[in-house]
Amino acid sequence: MNIRINELVDGRDTVNKWMERFGVRFGVYKHGVFNEQLFPFDSIPRIIPASDWAYLEEGLRQRVTALNKFLWDVYHDKRIIKDGVVPEEFVYSSKGYMPECEGISPTGEVYAHIAGIDLVEGKDGQWYVLEDNLRIPSGASYPMIAREITRKVSPQTFTQNAVAENRDYAHLLATMMEEMNDGRGIAVILTPGRYNSAYFEHSYFAEKTGATLVYPGDLFVEDNKVYYGGIYKEKTRVGCIYRRVSDEYMDPLLFEASSLLGIPNVMQAYKAGNVALINAIGNGVADDKGIYYFVPKMVEYYLGEQPILQNAPTYLPYFEKDRDYVLKNIKKLVIKDVSEAGGYGVVFGKDLAEKELADLTELVRSEPRRWIAQEVIDFKDLEILEGDQTVWRKADLRAFVVSGKEVKVWKSGLTRFSRNPNSFVVNSSQGGGFKDTWVMES
Amino acid sequence: MTQTNLISATKANSLYWLGRYEERVYITLHLLRKCYDKMIDGELEDYSMLWTRLDSSGVYQSGEEFTFGMMYDETNIASVMAAQVKAKDNAMLLREEIMSESLSYLEMSVALMKECRERREMNVTALQPVIDWSLAFWGSAEQRLRNHKALYIMMIGRNVENLDMLLRFDYPYERAALAYDSLKRYLRQMSTIVDDHIEAQLNSLIIKEQFNLNDAEYKNKLLKFINQLVRV
């Protein structure tokens, strides 16, 4: 593979100017104050050879298909629990399990319409899944707009390299939304508003898909149907809501009563099959860090296939054997609190002082369901430009899988990197940057 | 994708205020240039007229402080910066209507003004690109807004602000009448958001025989009606 990216690297200041020009930002709340900042972009792309991608694509499609089947099963027949593959404690004690969703059948039986699967590549070239994000995975807009800009700034780079198009993500989204809409009305993107950390993404997707961007208060329910209201009191039927509002805020009459972000009675309309919610409510039960352990088993159970993608070696202190291993080896493991997200609640045993280690050991003993432990994967560092220097930093890949009538894997992804040389944490909320992800055509 | 021409109250509000604030940026810069020109030959502190008529909230001790404050002080509601940030904030809520290209002109203006503030740039000509981008913004938004109603609401905001500023700065009847005619062209397209009673009052006040901005009561009445004309 002969990759030529010099022009792109030389044009990095111009790329960043364009990012500023298009308002490519994300918001962060620090000490209760909202700040918007540019998402640091690194011009050197992550490059995934076609052969690697073929493997990832097949594995991602398989994994998300199994996860969707699991979600259907959990809220309907519960076969996987009855058959003892997943212990019921892990399902019903999960914060993401929503009893209100029992028996609800979403359009096309799809729950995770947009799945963001976080992977890392080990130094030996082996890919591992670190996390499944099935609620409101964000981030696809950044490589999309980065590609739009880098193609402007350095067209030569793209004539010299056979990179798969990634701007078709909007088309994938729009097609899936129309399939879920099923001719009922219009498709909308519901944003919590301007001060949401991913607001740029909400508005950019609306622009690129042609969906209507709606704010809390714009939608209402009448006769179990959802409508978008206009200034003249007129209304139009809504058939599909790509909601960027968390489950618990979606319907104040059923969930968090103080929520001003949701739509009163939307769950009634959803239950009646009059509106599609993207993603479905209740998906949190399948992307729970504890449930993650069981995903390879789900693949075998539902699809009768061997899992293509591997999990990072994971231990559940809930099981006595695993707990013993974790307690003996806690210093070399990474311990994750299953109820946290966004890179929070993740500690490396090797970084803890004696007292902290003792406290954590006690917590693992007393609340085993709360934790998972993983071997630290020595994942591949990627080249990052820091001033005029090239440095090496940890990076992951969030791959996006869009499920409508078919399951489609987007030929790109969000590569996030840590800007701290000693850190494995790549989350943007903790100062990480991003790269474009090039999937090579040949 | 199935689309609608319907405009929600949230968007109507943003469109109207985007129009108003962006027009304010343009006019305030124009007035600032005129004011500086006067200050060259007159007193350096000869800015009070501008300051008072814009209902400026800034307190400035010198011509220099005034200049800097009127350009960049975000806490002063009359400053160019405050209006530009508010225009951009409203435009951000309308990205899918006006498209990223139109929004980008306002993003660039805010970024340039922040750079100028950083280096304490006092020469108003440094902000000439803000005027150029403002004009580019209007052209771009007009071309890209697929929903005509959205365009009309934004243009109503723009024309309301234009008329408001002309009245504040005692422009002659001919200019005010022309601006009001322009506003009415858009109001006719969106009659349901217009207060008929107030429009009738304005029609009876903006006539040559009545027009007298030296009469404070008349002027205040006009300004009040202009600002209450549209319900969004």
Q: Which candidate in B1, B11, B133, B146 is best for mutational testing of the A interface (most A CBs within 10 A)?
A: B1
The tally of domains found in chain A comes to 2
Q: How confident is the model at residue B49 (pLDDT cuts 50, 70, 90)?
A: confident
User: Per residue of chain A (442 residues), what is the pLDDT tens digit?
Assistant: 557 788 888 888 999 999 999 999 888 877 778 888 888 899 999 999 999 999 999 999 999 999 999 999 999 999 999 999 999 989 998 889 999 999 999 999 999 999 999 999 998 899 999 999 999 999 999 999 999 999 999 999 999 999 999 999 999 999 999 999 999 999 999 999 999 999 999 999 999 999 999 999 999 999 999 999 998 889 999 999 999 999 999 999 999 999 999 999 999 999 999 999 999 999 999 998 899 999 999 999 999 999 999 999 999 999 999 999 999 999 999 999 987 766 678 889 999 999 999 999 999 999 998 899 999 888 889 999 988 889 999 999 999 999 999 999 999 999 999 988 877 777 766 678 999 999 999 8
- Nearest CA to A284 among A246, A254, A255? A246
pTM of the shown model: 0.92
Tell me yes or no: is domain B8-146 CATH 2.20.28.
Answer: no
Give the domain ranges of chain B.
8-146, 147-232
What is the extent of the structural domain holding A220? 6-306+400-439
The answer, for A109 touching chain B at a CB cutoff of 8 Å, is no
With a pLDDT cut of 70, the percent of chain B lying above it is 98
The verdict on A265 and A358 lying in the same domain is no
Using CA atoms of A122, A124, A125, A130 in order, give the dihedral in degrees to the nearest 10: -20
Q: Assess whether A134 and A46 both reside in one domain.
A: yes
Question: Quick one: A74 and A147 in the same domain?
Answer: yes
Using DSSP's 3-state secondary structure scheme, residue B193 falls into helix
- A230 to chain B, minimum CA–CA distance in Å? 4
Q: A40: which 2 tokens?
A: 């640091």
Q: For residue B221, what pLDDT is reported?
A: 96
The confidence score (pLDDT) of residue B9 equals: 92
Q: Is residue A389 part of a domain?
A: no
Report the first-to-last Cα separation within chain A, whole angstroms: 8
With CB atoms and an 8 Å threshold, state whether A215 touches B95.
no
Taking CB atoms and an 8 Å limit, are B107 and A236 in contact across chains? no
Type of residue found at A309:
L
pLDDT of residue B14: 97
> pLDDT class for B44, splitting at 50, 70, 90?
low
Both A370 and A430 in one domain: the answer is no
A189 in any annotated domain: yes
The encoded tokens of residue B204 equal 């009876």
> What mean pLDDT comes out for the span B87-113?
96
Beta strand A219-222 with A212-214 is unpaired
Residues of chain B found within 8 Å of residue A229, distances taken between Cβ atoms: 6, 8-9
Residues A298 and A318 in one domain: no
SS3 per-residue string spanning A145-178: HHHHHHHHHCHHHHHHCCECCCCCHHHHHHHHHH
Chain A residues closer than 8 Å to B108 by CB: 20-21
Contact B192 A232 (CB under 8 A): yes
Domain containing residue A317: CATH number: 3.30.1490.270
* Cβ–Cβ below 8 Å for B8 and A22: no
Q: In terms of CA atoms, which chain B residue is nearest residue A174?
A: B1
The pLDDT of residue A344 is: 73
Distances (CA, A) of A145 to A23, A148, A165, A332, B66: 10, 5, 12, 39, 40
pLDDT (0 to 100) of residue A136: 95
Query: Which H helix or E strand runs over A342?
Result: none
Q: Judge whether A391 lies within some domain.
A: no
Confidence (pLDDT) at A65: 98
**Dist CA A201 CA A139 (whole Å):** 7
Residue A230 touches chain B, beta carbons under 8 Å: yes
Same-domain check for residues A334 and A302: no
- ipTM tops the 0.95 cut: no
| DSSP-derived pairing of the beta strands A314-315 and A333-337 | unpaired
> What gap in Å lies between CA B93 and CA B21, rounded to an integer?
14
Concatenated DSSP letters for A211-266? PEEE-TTSEEEETTEEEEE-TTS-EEEEEEEEE-S-GGGS-TTTS-TT-SSS-TTH
pLDDT reported for residue A369: 87
A171 and A286, same structural domain?
A: yes
In this complex, which of B1, B104, B111 lies closest to A211 when CB atoms are compared?
Answer: B1
What's the confidence (pLDDT) of residue A20?
A: 92
Q: Is residue A222 part of a domain?
A: yes
| Mean pLDDT of all residues belonging to chain B | 92
Q: Which of B96, B104, B111 sits opposite A203 (nearest CB)?
A: B96
pLDDT at residue B56 greater than cutoff 80: no
Task: Give the residue among A155, A133, A97 at the shortest CA–CA distance from A396.
Answer: A133
Cβ atoms A310, A375 nearer than 8 A = no
Write the pLDDT tens digit of every residue in B121-158. 999 899 999 999 999 999 999 999 989 999 999 999 99
Percentage helix, strand, coil for chain B under 3-state DSSP, each rounded to 5: 75, 0, 25
Q: How far apart are CA A141 and CA B79, in angstroms?
A: 34
CB contact under 8 Å between A178 and B2, yes or no, is: yes
A257/A187 same-domain check = yes
| Residue B45: pLDDT over 70 | no
Confirm if A67 and A303 have CB atoms less than 8 A apart.
no
Same domain, A348 and A407: no
Q: How many CB atoms lie within 10 A of CB B203?
A: 11
Contact B8 A234 (CB under 8 A): no
Question: Is A320 inside a domain boundary?
Answer: yes
Same domain, A125 and A163: yes
Cα angle at A325 between A322 and A328, to 5 degrees?
Answer: 150
Nearest to B95 among A178, A203, A217 (CB): A203
**Nearest CB to A231 within list B2, B12, B100:** B12
